[in-house]
């Protein structure tokens, strides 16, 4: 130690006195040191940074916090739904106030006309000097009531503006809360994510010990170890990984002498590749050994009665036998192989996690085990799609886009053996979502354009036909239990703002299952269309509950009529005027329409005329319910083609009797 740098004990005051001198000495010594570049930056005498504190949190507490954060997101979505409904009702309130104001203006005009007419009758003498009737304030009780109504309308406008401001503030607060909730969710999920690298030392030790036990040489190579996985997922996959590595050494990697004879490196290599594909974590465990003995597997399967001697199977189907309980091709029982216990446990564990396992092997070059596990996030962006009356959610990370194709073009493509659709320079195979889910196909619609959902996972590209896209949402992924999670293609479930449960689909395993099923049917000579769900023709299909559309500008009438019909097992959709009804008729064709006459924008006569001139809507029966009970109004409605004509107020029994009779005649 040089004299100025020898170890001495200094007090705090001495340290402050000598601090600057020591720093200057460091700069001089470093600057004049031999072989030191002149441009070396000076050493700063910075204060040492405090070490970042770490805390330990119990895993069950962390899982509970993630679940609570998910519940908060669900409640927020329900609040957003209620605020949206409140905003819709506020718009209805505004329209009602405007209508009331217009009616009040007409009432005031009528009352003023009555004042003038009455005054002219009472003072008709010529030449008499009179005041203007309005200057005399000759107001009757009716005029006083009209003035009071005007003040009430002004009060309603003030209340409407106040509610509008409160709603806007609530929407702003919900938007801010959604941002904070998203940050909270991401932070909690990051605490649950651990790099795959944390498992690598244990796996290397497993490979090293197993190789020493059986006298082989092998190394473990890990690619993508920096990728993060859910901590629970990684812990449950530790034992399956260790068993697959032992299998690779016991069955795959040859001895150093055998590898040298075939020109291989005496030291074998086991590779683990970690990657992310859309909503899945893909783990590939491969080795450069001898590969699987196809003949030994077939012989063992025949011995155990799992396979007929004359049966012909593909390699992948034959390799699946090693996943059976008690199946092993080892000649003798050792610590690592021969007991037939292991791969069936691995397969069951992967299935319980909602994943899949595929096996590929090439004789003399090695084997590849591909594990696909769901990347379980608490919150994900999803697209809501509609299939018939059901709604499903699909994670947005697996969706490439949505296109619309002409119905005739789609039917022409589906008539080919392998229908494809070109999108973004790539070919996507066309599938029906009803066939992938193995559910009855919905009723065929008469829309000219059909939506296709373009998905891609790895090398797999699929264009899935759906009935419609509801929109994109941020959904909270909830576990569905072991009974449903073991079903291929179920990613989870979510709770929507109205409290309904929507299944989250993972299209990749659904497409793989359908492709495998179709390939098996081709090998067996069976047409897959014989057991695929058949579309139901429109003439044969009958809706379980009739659909009735109620068109009325009165909120009260819409609500009362809807409750009456729903109590009698009928589905109801409502429209506030004729134009609103025309928009909704583009999506759904009702079995019956209840129609009012006096409505803004488009009245009942105009809507009925429009429907009777439309080939798609002319068979929909119409019942008019109106306060206009005069004969000329009734006659005009019947000339247009309206089936029934009822007056307001109606009796509930009369309405139901007319509705049921009209539906029965329509079906006949």
In order of their start, the domains of the chain are: 1-45 (no CATH), 59-193 (1.10.287), 215-374 (3.30.565.10), 379-530 (2.30.30.40), 547-667 (3.40.50.2300)
Rg, Å, the chain Cα set = 39
Q: Which class for 22: exposed (0-12), middle (13-18), buried (19 or more C-beta within 10 A)?
A: middle
Question: What would the pLDDT profile of 167-199 be if each residue is shown by its tens digit?
Answer: 999 999 999 998 898 888 878 877 888 888 889
- Backbone dihedral region for residue 261 (phi beyond 0: left; psi -120 to 50: alpha; all else: beta): alpha
Q: Which residues contact 370 (CB under 8 A, 6 or more apart)?
A: 282, 283, 284, 357, 358, 359, 360
Q: Which residues contact 93 (CB under 8 A, 6 or more apart)?
A: 160, 163
pLDDT at 35 over 50: no
Question: What would the pLDDT profile of 538-555 be if each residue is shown by its tens digit?
Answer: 433 444 688 899 998 888
Question: What would the pLDDT profile of 624-637 be if each residue is shown by its tens digit?
Answer: 888 877 788 888 88
pLDDT at 37 over 80: no
Which pLDDT score is estimated for 7? 40
Which pLDDT score is estimated for 47? 56
Which pLDDT score is estimated for 83? 92
The pTM of the full predicted model, rounded to 2 decimals, is 0.58
- What's the CA angle centered on 19, arms 15 and 22, to 5 degrees? 120
Question: What would the pLDDT profile of 343-399 be if each residue is shown by its tens digit?
Answer: 878 887 887 776 778 888 888 888 999 988 877 656 677 889 988 878 999 887 778
pLDDT band for position 304 (50/70/90)?
confident
Q: Which two tokens stand for residue 605?
A: 């006569």
36-40, 453-457, 639-643: which range is least confident on average?
Answer: 36-40
Residues forming a β-bridge with 370: 284, 358
pLDDT at 511 over 80: yes
- List helix spans (H) across 123-247: 141-192, 200-214, 231-247
Which pLDDT score is estimated for 27? 45
Q: Which residues contact 638 (CB under 8 A, 6 or more apart)?
A: 645
Q: Which two tokens stand for residue 447?
A: 């829309």
8 Å CB contact between 281 and 274: yes
- In angstroms, the CA 452 to CA 468 distance is 9
Torsion of CA 337, 342, 344, 348, to 10 degrees: -170
**Residues 12-31: what's their mean pLDDT?**
44
């Amino acid at each position: 130690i040089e004299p100025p740098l020898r170890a001495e004990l200094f007090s705090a005051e001495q340290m402050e006195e000598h601090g600057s001198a020591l720093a200057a000495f460091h700069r001089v010594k470093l600057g004049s040191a031999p072989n030191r570049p002149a441009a070396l930056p000076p050493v700063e005498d910075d204060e040492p940074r405090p070490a970042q504190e770490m805390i330990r949190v119990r895993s069950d507490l962390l899982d509970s916090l993630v679940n609570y954060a998910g519940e908060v997101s669900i409640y927020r979505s329900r609040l957003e739904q209620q605020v949206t409904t409140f905003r819709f009702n506020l718009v209805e309130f505004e329209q009602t106030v405007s209508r009331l104001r217009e009616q009040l203006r007409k009432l005031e005009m009528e009352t003023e006309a009555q004042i003038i007419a009455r005054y002219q009758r009472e003072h008709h003498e010529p030449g008499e000097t009179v005041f203007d009737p309005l200057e005399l304030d000759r107001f009757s009780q009716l005029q006083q009531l009209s003035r009071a109504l005007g003040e009430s309308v002004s009060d309603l406008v003030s209340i409407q503006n106040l509610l509008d401001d409160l709603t806007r503030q609530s929407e702003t607060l919900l938007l801010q809360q959604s941002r904070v909730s998203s940050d909270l969710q991401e932070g909690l999920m990051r605490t649950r994510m651990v790099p795959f690298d944390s498992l690598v030392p244990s796996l290397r030790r497993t490979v090293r010990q197993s190789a020493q036990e059986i006298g082989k040489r092998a190394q473990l190579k890990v690619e993508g170890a920096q990728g993060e996985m859910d901590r629970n997922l990684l812990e449950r996959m530790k034992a399956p990984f260790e068993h697959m590595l032992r299998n690779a050494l016991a069955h795959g990697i040859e001895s150093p002498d055998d590898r040298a004879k075939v020109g291989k490196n005496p030291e074998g290599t086991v590779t683990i590749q970690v990657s992310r594909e859309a909503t899945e974590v893909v783990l590939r465990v491969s080795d450069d050994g001898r590969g699987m003995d196809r003949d030994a597997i077939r012989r063992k399967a025949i011995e155990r009665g799992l396979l007929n001697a004359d049966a012909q199977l593909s390699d992948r189907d034959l390799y699946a036998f090693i996943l059976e309980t008690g199946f092993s091709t080892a000649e003798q029982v050792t610590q690592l192989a021969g007991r037939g216990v292991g791969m069936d446990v691995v397969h069951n564990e992967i299935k319980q996690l909602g994943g899949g396992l595929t096996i590929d092997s090439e004789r003399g070059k090695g084997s590849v085990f591909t594990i696909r596990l769901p990347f379980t996030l608490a919150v994900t962006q999803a697209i809501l799609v509609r299939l018939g009356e059901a709604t499903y959610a699909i994670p947005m990370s697996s969706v490439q886009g949505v296109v619309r194709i002409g119905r005739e073009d789609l039917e022409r493509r589906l008539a080919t053996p392998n229908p494809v659709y070109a999108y973004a320079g790539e070919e996507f195979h066309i599938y029906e979502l009803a066939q992938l889910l193995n559910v009855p196909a919905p009723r065929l619609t008469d829309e000219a354009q059909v939506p296709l959902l373009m998905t891609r996972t790895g090398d797999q590209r699929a264009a899935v036909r759906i009935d419609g896209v509801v929109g994109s949402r941020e959904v909270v992924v909830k576990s569905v239990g072991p009974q449903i999670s073991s079903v291929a293609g179920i990613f989870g479930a979510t709770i929507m703002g109205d409290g309904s449960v929507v299944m989250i689909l993972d299209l990749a395993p659904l497409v793989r299952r359908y492709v495998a099923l179709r390939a098996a049917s081709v090998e067996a000579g069976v047409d897959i269309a014989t057991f695929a769900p058949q579309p139901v023709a429109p003439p044969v299909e009958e809706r379980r509950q009739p659909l009735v559309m109620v068109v009325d500008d009165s909120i009260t009438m819409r609500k009362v009529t809807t409750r009456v019909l729903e109590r009698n097992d009928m589905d109801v959709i409502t429209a506030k005027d004729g134009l609103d009804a025309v928009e909704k008729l583009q999506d759904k064709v009702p079995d019956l329409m209840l129609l009012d006459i006096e409505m803004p924008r488009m009245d009942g006569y105009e809507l009925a005329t429009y429907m009777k001139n439309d080939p798609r809507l002319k068979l929909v029966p119409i019942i008019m319910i109106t306060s206009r009970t005069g004969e000329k109004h009734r006659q005009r409605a019947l000339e247009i083609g309206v089936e029934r004509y009822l007056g307001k107020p109606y009796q509930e029994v009369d309405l139901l009797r007319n509705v049921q009779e009209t539906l029965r005649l329509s079906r006949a």
